[in-house]
Amino acid sequence: MNLYHYFNKKIVPERIYLKYKYKKHFGQFPDLKKPKTLNEKIIWLKLHDRTPLHTRCADKYEVRGFIKEKIGEEYLVPIYFQTQDVNEIIADNLPDAQCIIKTNHDSGGGIFVLDKTKMNWEDIQQKLKQRMEKNYYLKSKEWQYKNIIPRVIIEKLLQNSKGDIPEDYKLHCFNGKVRMIQVDMGRGTSNHYRNWYNTDWQREPYKWSSPKGPGKYTDPSPDDVPRPKTLNKMISLSELIAAHFDYVRVDWYDVDGKLYFGEVTFHHDGGNKPILPEQWDLILGNELILTKLKLQDVAKD
Mean pLDDT of the chain: 92
Tell me the C-alpha distance between 18 and 32, whole Å.
Answer: 11
pLDDT digits (tens, 9 = 90+) for 25-68: 999 999 999 999 999 999 999 999 999 999 999 999 999 999 99
Tell me the C-alpha distance between 287 and 48, whole Å.
Answer: 19
DSSP per-residue string spanning 59-91: STTTHHHHHHHHT-GGGSPPEEEEES-GGG-SG
Tell me the C-alpha distance between 32 and 44, whole Å.
Answer: 6
- If you average pLDDT over residues 132-149, what whole number do you get? 95
Is the pLDDT assigned to residue 140 strictly greater than 50?
yes
Q: pLDDT grade, residue 294 (50/70/90)?
A: low
Tell me the C-alpha distance between 5 and 2, whole Å.
Answer: 6
pLDDT digits (tens, 9 = 90+) for 213-235: 666 788 888 899 999 999 999 99
Q: Tell how far CA 180 is from the center of its chain.
A: 15
Burial class (CB in 10 A: 0-12, 13-18, 19+), 277: exposed
Bond from prior residue into 52 cis (ω within 30 degrees of 0): no
Q: Tell how far CA 132 is from the center of its chain.
A: 18
Global pTM? 0.92
Spell out the residues 6+ positions from residue 118 whose beta carbon is closer than 8 angstroms to its own: none
- If you average pLDDT over residues 222-251, what whole number do you get? 97
So what's the pLDDT on residue 2? 53
> Which of these ranges, 15-24, 96-105, 170-179, 286-295, has the smallest mean pLDDT?
286-295
pLDDT digits (tens, 9 = 90+) for 173-201: 999 999 999 998 887 777 888 999 999 99
So what's the pLDDT on residue 293? 86
